[in-house]
Structure 1
Amino acid sequence: MILPMLGALEAILFAAGSEGVTDEELAEILQLPVHECRSLCEALQEAYDERGSGLQVVQLGGSWQLLTRPEHAVYLRRMAASPMSTHLSPAALEVLAIVAYRQPISRAEIEMVRGVQSDRAIHTLVHRQLIAEVGRQDAPGRPILYGTTQTFLQAFGLRSLDDLPPLPPEPEDPEALSLFQKPPAWPRD
């Protein structure tokens, strides 16, 4: 019984990220008494210590978190400084294509085109310096406008945005939605 629960606890701590999870939250999620949740966290902590894992279970500010060990920080810094992976998820590629063809564009406009939230894909593309903030929209809240970067052009072997391949023609059916159909403009006061 303890091994499946340790796996579940590990998954919960991983998913919680830097937010962590309190004993009470774990008790609700795992449907166990608080003291058993605390014991599970301590057991997972010991298991990581015994096998010399690069991860550790730590209780900070009343929340349990899954963290990397401080002695491995040098390697993590090297990883952060190394050239970025060339792999992009399908969602990130979709957002990148939308930004490339429709820039400058806001997150809300990207999401209107895609029909799903795009925060994570946008964050990934900004982190990889493929897109960047290019201004603010003249609308309530002054949303950030995104555009492609010089890194984007270099990564895709383009001299300029004019080298982007042409978009396919719009469908004959006016009701059909195109991935790159321009959403309605934001109302202005």
Structure 2
Amino acid sequence: MEEPLEPEKIRSAIESLIFTSDKPIFIDDIKKLFDNLEAPKIRELIESLQKELIGRSSGLRVIEIAGGFQMVTSPDNAEVIKSYYKIKHTEKLSGPSLETLSIIAYKQPVTRIDIEAIRGVNADGVIKSLLEKNLIRIAGRKEVIGRPFVYGTTRLFLDYFGLKSLAELPKIEEFAQQDILLDVKLASGEGDITPLSKEEEEQLQIGEQDANQKDP
């Protein structure tokens, strides 16, 4: 029978897991790898690791993002890293994209008709672009005339804006000085939301694959 690992060895293993993962790693995923190690203890070890990295002025940090943990470089070293690797800034979202994304984030699940009613312009192109960037997803259909798709945000949306959850979104009142009117009734009316059927999901996946193959 194997002896249980000491906390320091477990913390070391967790550090390696977070370091090698290219996406946030979740406590539940870590829990599956260690017998009799509960979630609170895992969080305690991760928090200990976070303090240790900061305490010795490490060039790495462990941050909590989108409900998981990821290792990143220290923000203190950002300029040095940019200079060395000549890192290009991530492509910024356009004004219409940010506006549409804000509407979806606050009003989700929301239809294209609702988005266009709030923005006052056609939203087909912007929605397509946000879907391609995986910042939004088709969350189902609204049970009104025509059964339109409804859209919601993705986990990548949380990652992109450094949020743990949608609860961390700024309050709608903070947009009072902007032209976006989020506190309005939905143009599509009231209706239940139905998840996509398995067949619809498969058709959408096939459509995405075909579109990717056509891209140069």
TM-score by length of 2: 0.42
Q: Which has the higher contact order (CA 8 A, sep 6+)?
A: 2
Q: Flag the structure with larger Rg.
A: 1
TM-score by length of 1: 0.48
